[in-house]
Amino acid sequence: MHKRNVFISSVQKEFANERPITSFCVQVSGQVTGQVTGQATGEVTGEVTDHVTDHVTDHVTDHVNELILRLVIVLENKKSRSELMESLDLRHSGNFRDNYLNPAIEEGYIEMTIPDKPKSIKQKYQLTHKGIELKNRISKIK
């Protein structure tokens, strides 16, 4: 701030007899105020947006984890997709695949018994080591 005052002071001395200097200083001040206000508004907006995004992400993540948890609980030995859907009382295969099966596979809780042929009519699913550990922790809580 000291350097800016020196600069403005030297400009004022150089053009002491001319009137527009005062309006120039006011205009610069207004631009700086606008920049600071815009920057502060952007920072606050960014913080609020980040907070809301984190909250929504946590909520969605909790929901997905709950669905995976339900799948892990009902999966004993090896089960087909239709057996799993029946155990969960689900009827829509797209919903089951997108919200239960694929997330559980992607997060490493279950695996296909025939991974090279994902669409095989003989395809079944089983718990991975990670899935077994989760199921064991759940059974200790109950």
What is the percentage of the chain residues whose pLDDT exceeds 70?
54
Q: How far apart are CA 80 and CA 124, in angstroms?
A: 4
What are 72-88's pLDDT values in tens digits? 999 999 999 999 999 99
Going along the chain from its start, the domains and CATH numbers come out as: 36-141 (1.10.10.10)
Structure confidence at residue 39 (pLDDT): 60
Residue 79 pairs in a beta bridge with: 125
Higher per-residue confidence, 5 vs 113:
113
- Does residue 37 contact residue 27 with C-beta atoms inside 8 Å? no
Q: Is the pLDDT of residue 97 over 80?
A: yes
Structure confidence at residue 141 (pLDDT): 74
Burial class from Cβ neighbours inside 10 Å (0-12, 13-18, 19+) for residue 42 reads exposed
Q: Does the pTM exceed 0.75?
A: no
Q: Is the pLDDT of residue 107 over 50?
A: yes
